[in-house]
Structure 1
Amino acid sequence: MKYYISIIFALVALTFSSCKESEPDPFYSDNEQDHDSDEIIGDDYIYHLPVIFHVLYQDENAVDENNKRNQYVSYDRLKTILQNVNDLYAGKLYNFGEGADMPSENIHVQFELALYDESGKKLKTPGVEYIKYSGEYPIDCNSFMNQTKKKNKIIWNPNEYINVMVYNFKKTKDNSITLGISNLPYKQNGYPAIDGLKDARGAINKNSLSFEYCVSINSSYINQESSRYTAADHGYKEYTYDSGDINVTLAHELGHYLGLKHVFAEKDTDTGSEPNESCTDTDYCTDTKSYNKPAYDRWLISYIEQHKQAGNDLVMKELIKRSNDSGEEWDSDNFMDYAVSLSFRFTPEQKYRMRQVLYYSPLIPGPKKIKNDNYGTRSQDNDEDIDLPICLAIEKAIPVERASFRKEIHSTNKK
């Protein structure tokens, strides 16, 4: 049985060559695409977050089992994925109202392909740069993420861009597969108090970081997705589920990047966190239901094996069911769950938490509520080394065969 694993981590620095073109545009030379001089009027202010995909490839012509490129990922594919993620964050296309106990929140963020590079040059392919990787490929993500370097980092200034690395991940010895990787954000010492985030002190920019601060996704699965994105009704009546859905992977990892934890119970470890044998609420959002993830995984493995031996189809209505030690049952639909989940919901408290990170955290693009230079959320010229802790979370999901399911599964929530 193979496993999908996604890891929240810091990525290593690499040397590379890339292609950008045209002369600097003075208007964009300070990278104003993130509107960081705007005044924030309220919680419905729309954040414009420039995204730069760094595609690390070795073979331009490498293809997956469907004869589609999975190393040199096309601009069109990445553009489509980002648009799907925007739809997921807007909560407008996959919000199944019938039987749902609350709607999915509109986070009021717009992830946009970056138009200009750090020096103000217009990009040949908006939001995408291609980097010929000279090391071992697929990349050993554990080695890749544990290296730290002061110079030759791939990332662009995190105060102006969200950096997303795209590359094939090397399989681990137990044949598990990593789907996505992300750093968690930081809070500034003293104010505001964003529970569960590590403190950062002083002004921070790219040159003061010793690691790649970014999101990363496994391009081996770049072409996998559920059919709801292409269905005329966006899967409202029925769609085919894919456990390796790249759109959900990126939405999930961006949720971590903006401060969200997993909805199930976790405990701290030396390297970050891991699922805990309890139903304790550990994500700092009281409107998400927590459960015992290890117990669910054991049940899921047994369920899949029993149905396989009997020659029976898997029943999605059963696979997405969760329960806790209080006797509650519900359908898993939150982006910050994984394994088998409908993955279309953010709750009000999750929205609040992400907005707090956008308002106050360093290394996040966009305007801040505090613009005092002494606060230190933004810095363009401080190259002093900042000893930031690398915050990790490790997640393991069990894939299931592609399966169709119908609308009635959305009306099964009960207490």
Structure 2
Amino acid sequence: MGSGITGGWVAKELCERGLKVMVLDRGKKIVAGEDYSDLLSPWELENFDQLPEAEAAERYGRITEAIGLRSYLRNSNKHFFGREDESPYEVASDSGFARVQAYSSGGKSLVWSRHTYRFGEIDFEANKADGIGEDWPLRYEDLRPWYERVEKFAGISGSVENLPQLPDSIFQPPFELNCAEKVLKQKVEARFPHRRVIPARCAHLTKPTAEQLELGRGKCQIRNQCHRGCSFGAYFSSVSATLPAAEKTGRLEQREYAIVHSLEYDPTSRRVTGVRVIDARDRSRSVMQAPIVFLCASTVATTVILLNSTSERYPEGLGNDSRQLGLNLMDHVGGARATGRLPGMEDRYYSGRRPVGYYVPRYRNFLEGGSGFSRGF
């Protein structure tokens, strides 16, 4: 259920191992190129691609109010997002929380920011070192080969820095810092020996491999039209990478407008045996059975499905003996923005519009002291 980043990877891996896979998505099946508008000129887009205010307020209210998403949701990509009036939710008035819903195939892999960093040993050991929470059951070296496997397929651009707090990935060439960022880097690193300014690491192809080219992916054109879909397949998404790889096997089937209501549980075998599906177009109901079921419907939607999956054995939701289901959730995080002006260099410019900027790896409570808090940022 769901073909976002996780669901797409599951489909790819299972199909390549000989299994037949059915992927269910709540929304429309996105076809690369056909459902994108990145090759259109601004004057070819309705209302210069601005979402009408009334429509934005009625259908996408909280998303348009969120700082990190205000400029991202456009008329040309609204079909990548789920409508809030069709899936309403309540939050505390002072929470500031906005749930990004993406029901089409590809899910939030079409709308993520694509910054891609490894966790390091410092991250896996933090709970134990700080005495907070539970110790991780694995360490960085356990995941290193899996990081490499994913990075080689997805394609990550970045620079090799040999920093202990930020392990290097398998990189394609980085996007060069512009002239102002190079000045910032020089000033910061001269004044603060433990702080680094480096090119941000992102899932954009800068030197595609043969495998990536075979899937129809190409080099990033640094056009800054990522929010409208990428006809070049340069940024990693399920639509550009994992689903095409699964389709190549001939063992993938995708079903659109399939709302998964709940899971069927067999008390005898103590296993999930199928899913209950509602057709989003005519509301007809059906049950699809399978020996293996992967629930990859996002943080909130996955939780809702599990809570709906009640039975005599699990009256409060599948696996919910602890009554923790629905609590302590961690959804995808956004971020803050800051801009500034650097005087000088009026005679210099840069080519293209990169998908990322620069990155300052952690230094607090690691290479430098903290400021009354644990860990770092």
The interval holding the TM-score normalised by the smaller chain is under 0.3
- When the two structures are superposed, what TM-score results if normalisation uses the length of structure 2? 0.27
Larger radius of gyration: 2
More strand, by proportion: 1
More helix, by proportion: 2
- When the two structures are superposed, what TM-score results if normalisation uses the length of structure 1? 0.25
Larger RCO, structures 1/2 (Cα 8 Å, 6+ apart): 1
